[in-house]
Structure 1
């Protein structure tokens, strides 16, 4: 006997068979029943936090079922249906939520802040926006490899206010990337209503500004979501391009359970309760005769039994035992360094030529390596380092980018997730601040969080001495040496620049590669013409002496060399650090224990710089060997001025000799 219960949603099954209709229902029912169980566990204190997607299941399930299993999805808080539809074992999900080792983050991150290559899912971070640009990178890899795959990425209506959203849409449009941007518009960003989030009528309208096709779908209608996504995904596979979809929906619980829903008018909640995606679809299937009450009860019993069994199994798993060595070893992806020794003495070239030569040889060596940056293609970059690269490697691999550092760093991460390598050129190191978030919160933390390496090198033309002023002269290495998960390289000579750059590109971890602009055309050295590598974490002892240890890096190495050349009576060890993370502490401590005195020279301003940490380390490990206080010499505590006389006054170079003499005479 058919049911006569009316549905508040108009469903049209079109040509879908009964098996698919039931699969859609079961796929929505599963996350709903899991969530109902999670709310009980939350009240019992067995899970710490929960972001409910009750009322939004049709979007997660419809999108996921429309995509192929080997296509990437980048979900958010409320997309449990993505994980269950991809058939991740429930025990692993419960282990994740309870902080067990069987989860995906080894207890290091919570809820849906994880990814898994096994199921082609890339989870969010709390900053929301970066995943949109990461989706661009995954989609770019699909285009470059001719894989004809779609990438789907989720955001909420609140997340569309972030700059990452606009940058990602613009990049996807310019590069015609096969990304489906899915906006779940549930009416509130935590408690802030849409009227205070954006002024346009519909978020889908934003697609017009980027030349992107956009659609508005009823996010509570599983057949509309699934049917439209099937067509769009197939269309995008055939003709790669981005598409923007706004799903109108509502969340029936708070942003997270602790926040509640008191800020939502009660009549609005009742209106959306009547549009529940599961209840309405169940009634539709009952009326259609595709589902019976007995079948429905059986589905629920089976799913609840699966949930209970998975919970029991996860609960029986051992609690994580804190082990410092395990934590430290997982910050960086393992890297089996391969040393390649040069066979010739080479030719006398400039620092800038060494960088260019190293890039070219790495591009030849790694066919999956892509360079991205502003004006780097036909123009050859602001410093002409990539001049001629387009002719040799093509515009697919040497890519001009829009002026959007954040999205490009994120796209580089996406390329890495898709198994490729990426180099991002910051036109000036100063501009990295516009891409700071994805570097320190996404690239740096991905391996530690879910075992995903970030195979990205960010080139950083930096430094003063060229009268470029406050926004083109910073040496901002200390921003990144503080962040576990990043490696920081800062060569002072052409030979080191070429060899260390090759190593940086080979390394599967993220590397900030600093290139001092004042050295580009002023410093020359014999450099082997062939490809070679230099290991990270090995400082260079440029001069040997017994009276004092000078520790420095970058352009300051040459200041120290000039000072010693002008003071031949000073017998010093001169250490060029070359890499700041990892740091060669053994070389530092060995020298200081020998000389008994140490002075650290940096171009950056004093407070919070590398010199401060080095000084503290020396005091902790070499105190009994010291004959004088450790001295730090740095530039002024001001922004970097433009005019030469002010810049000269700012730089540490002018006061180094005096401070060096003071330590020697102590």
Structure 2
């Protein structure tokens, strides 16, 4: 192995050696502890340490790195105290996730490291968001994100590289090609000769680097990073290397031919570089022994600190209180100047005034810029706020939701318009696994609002008509808002954007241009978790939200003799359950109306809660009314048959007369 140190002084060469050696010695110790049962699992990076170390050394301390589970060298090179790493791996409080996650599944703003989740792909799009924030803030910084050759088969890889290329984001996409995705060799992963060759398809500069040569990694990445800081753009870097241990230790390496193991053993990054330093006179054996002894003591001392730390004592309130970041809601009262607005106009006004209220708010979505979005909600926004803040996106829901998460990590709010709520399925993973869990896992807010145009009744068929709120109300960490009136839509949208937690904001398409109301013209907010009593009565409690509120109103107008509490939930997470209990205890009868199909919908949970807490007050069985358990048909007559609207009046009449 050739090491070209012509432009590196001896001190830097030694610094690189120490940074390379430290994770190796830690790994050696972890393998011992694993065999002793003192840690539960280990993903070894032995044989490929030079990549993590070289990339980290090439970046500035304030530049973000998004590593994988085999990149211990990133964490040690950023000088994270070892007792905290050891505490993390043992599930101790001194770690970074309060025992809630293991391994390298954590981030730390202090050290500008954003850890992975097991789904691998999302961190690539998150890197796009961090890099976009750097670009918006005119910082000359790069963001480095790691993945393996197996991860390049995921759709997130394609989406993230495409977005970075279109927007010319300063991201270094670092692919560690170590030969195997668990046991699957590269010839069963992809057909191109090199992963770097894919850069051509994205209009992206790419490089191939010897990932076992610490000098080549450091000097090449330093050169690329310097250039990218001055001329922002994404760069794809393929590091050729090999994993000398199993995918994780339980996997073993029996699937690897012995001759391949032997060949790569000759290319060991630590041993080769250490030999070079001795041969070139930069270090001698005695100096190396001192370095190793110092690291060994540091490892031993910090391990003892972690071992001596008490195990976590479960605290129920701590766990429940850490699902969401605390939100100090500020009630902003409106003036008395009102204007009649359609639902769609109220959403647009709220979004526009929030853009004025938050100068760090970015809107992203398909066709939202000059075109104004398919529902024209952002029409005129480009002229008002510019294309940097109102961003057309490629058709890649997953990467854009991940980009929003990256913006939040870098301190920028964002609203993502899903063209139709149905399309969130293409970005489901980052919503339920990244946005929802980040604060609970390591205290990072996901300051993201996803706007979800939804609902049937407009003849849009199976792929543009779903009201899929139940996918998210069951996911801890997400907030779900579903207004029925223009006044609520504007005030709740403003609150959603103020809230640092991830919010899914459902907007029923059939209400956009059919429902009008006097709405304050100025900026105001409304609280989450506060239901609205549209009507009050003594006979029955009608509980609903979204378009269901208007369906119920139509029926109650027709059946004037029925005296009902009509409760518009407005937000489904958080839920105003006290309002429901109070009403049911008064009326003794309750009917829950939802547009979604019956099985697994929110009506099922509401009925269960009422049965548990209000059973003795009930004078009749709880009634649920929902749409058919079928996909949503296109034909007008079939759609009418599908919708719960057609069955509500009969069900209400039966309940009142029970």
Q: TM-score normalized by structure 2?
A: 1.00
- Structure 1 equivalent of residue 342 of structure 2: 350
Q: After superposition, give the CA deviation of every residue in 1:514-534 in whole Å (9 maximum; x if it has no partner).
A: 000000000000000000000
Does structure 1 residue 61 correspond to structure 2 residue 53?
A: yes
1:228 aligned partner = 220
CA–CA distance in structure 1, aligned partners of residues 35 and 436 of structure 2? 34
Which one of 471, 490, 497 corresponds to residue 498 of structure 1?
Answer: 490
Identify if the C-alpha distance between structure 1 residues 345 and 567 changes in structure 2 by more than 3 Å, giving closer, same or farther.
farther
2:424 corresponds to 1:432: yes
Q: Does 1:20 align with 2:12?
A: yes
Residues of 2 paired with 1:318 and 1:613: CA distance?
39
SS at match of 2:592: strand
1:380 to 368, 372, 375: 372
The C-alpha deviation readout for 1:398-436, integer Å capped at 9, x for no partner, is 000000000000000000000000100000000000000
- The alpha-carbon deviation at position 344 of structure 1 amounts to 1.2
- Displacement of 1:253 after TM fit? 0.5
Residue of structure 2 in register with 1:113 after alignment: 105
Q: CA deviation at 1:345?
A: 4.4
User: What secondary structure is seen at the aligned counterpart in 2 of 1:50?
Assistant: coil
CA distance in 1, matches of 2:376, 2:140: 34
1:275 aligns with 2:274: no
- Aligned partner of 1:49 in structure 2 is 41
Q: How does 1:499-648 map onto structure 2 within 5 Å?
A: 499-648=491-640
Displacement of 1:89 in angstroms is 0.3
Aligned length: 658
1 CA distance for matches of 2:239 and 2:376? Answer: 46
Measure the CA separation in 2 of the matches of 1:249 and 1:327. Answer: 41
C-alpha distance in 2 between matches for 1:588 and 1:348: 30
| Distance in 2, Cα, partners of 1:332 & 1:43 | 38
Aligned to 2:654: 662
Q: Equivalent residue of 2:572, what SS?
A: strand
Cα-Cα RMSD: 0.4
Cα distance between partner residues in 2 of 1:652 and 1:59 = 58
**C-alpha contact 1:553 1:602 (8 A) present in aligned 2:** yes
1:101 is aligned to: 93
After superposition, give the CA deviation of every residue in 1:246-299 in whole Å (9 maximum; x if it has no partner). 000001100000100010011100000000000000000000000100011000
Q: What SS is found at the alignment partner of 1:53?
A: coil
Q: Report SS of the residue matched to 2:110.
A: helix
Q: Deviations over 1:11-50 (max 9, x none)?
A: 1112100000000000010000000000000011110000
Q: Which residue of 2 aligns with 1:176?
A: 168
Q: Distance between the aligned counterparts of 2:448 and 2:371, measured in 1? A: 23
Instruction: Report the secondary structure of 2:107's partner residue.
Output: coil
**Residue in structure 2 matched with residue 3 of structure 1 by the alignment:** none
Aligned equivalents of 1:91, 1:544: Cα separation in 2: 60
SS, match of residue 101 in structure 1: coil
Deviation track 1:176-197 (CA, whole Å, cap 9, x = no partner) reads: 0000000000000000000100
| Alignment of structure 1 residues 158-307 onto 2, 5 Å | 158-307=150-299
Unaligned runs of 5+ in 2: none
Matched with 1:4 is: none
1: CA distance, partners of 2:285 / 2:593 = 78
State how far apart, in whole Å, the 2-side matches of 1:267 and 1:333 are. Answer: 53
CA contact (8 A) 1:185 1:249 kept: yes
**Secondary structure of the corresponding residue to residue 61 of structure 1:** helix
Task: Report the Cα distance in structure 1 between the residues aligned to 2:359 and 2:283, rounded to whole angstroms.
Answer: 53
Selected match of 1:462 from 433, 449, 454:
454
Matched, 1:423 2:415: yes
Contact 1:50 1:111 in 2 (8 A): yes
**d(CA) in 2 for partners of 1:315 and 1:343?**
60
The match for 1:6 is none
**C-alpha distance in structure 2 between counterparts of 1:425 and 1:199, whole Å:** 36
1:320-335 aligned within 5 A:
320-335=312-327
SS at match of 2:278: helix
Match in the other structure for 2:307: 315
CA distance in 2, matches of 1:37, 1:12: 31
Q: Distance in 2 between matches of 1:422 and 1:235?
A: 29
Separation in structure 2 between the aligned mates of residue 348 and residue 380 of structure 1, nearest angstrom = 22
| Aligned partners of 1:220 and 1:276 also within 8 Å | yes
The partner residue of 2:134 within 126, 135, 142 is: 142
Alpha-carbon separation, structure 1, partners of 2:339 and 2:243: 66
Match of 2:246, SS?
Answer: coil
- 1:153 maps to 145
For residues 135-193 of structure 1, the C-alpha deviation after alignment (integer angstroms, 9 at most, x for no partner) is 00000000000011000000000000000000000000000000000000000000000
User: After superposition, what is the alpha-carbon deviation per residue over 1:553-572, rounded to whole angstroms, capped at 9, x for unaligned?
Assistant: 00010000000000000000
Contact persistence 1:543–1:575 (CA under 8 A): yes
Corresponding position: 1:32 with 2:24: yes
1:546 to partner: Cα distance: 0.3
Query: Are the counterparts in 2 of residues 345 and 526 from structure 1 also a CA contact under 8 Å?
Result: no
Q: Is the contact between residue 100 and residue 107 of structure 1 (CA under 8 Å) also seen in structure 2?
A: yes
Residue of structure 1 in register with 2:400 after alignment: 408
Q: 1:422, 1:318 → 2: CA distance?
A: 40
Deviation at 1:510, TM superposition (A): 0.2
Residue 119 of structure 1 aligns to a residue in which SS?
coil
Task: Provide the rounded CA distance (Å) in 1 between the counterparts of 2:586 and 2:559.
Answer: 21
Partner SS state of residue 604, structure 1 = strand
Give the Cα separation in 2 of the matches to 1:445 and 1:11: 43
Distance 1:431 1:359 in 2: 21
2:328 maps to what in 1? 336
CA contact (8 A) 1:640 1:650 kept: yes
CA distance in 2, matches of 1:148, 1:23: 25
The offset of 1:10, in angstroms, is 1.1
Q: Distance in 2 between matches of 1:591 and 1:148?
A: 58
Shift of 1:337: 0.5
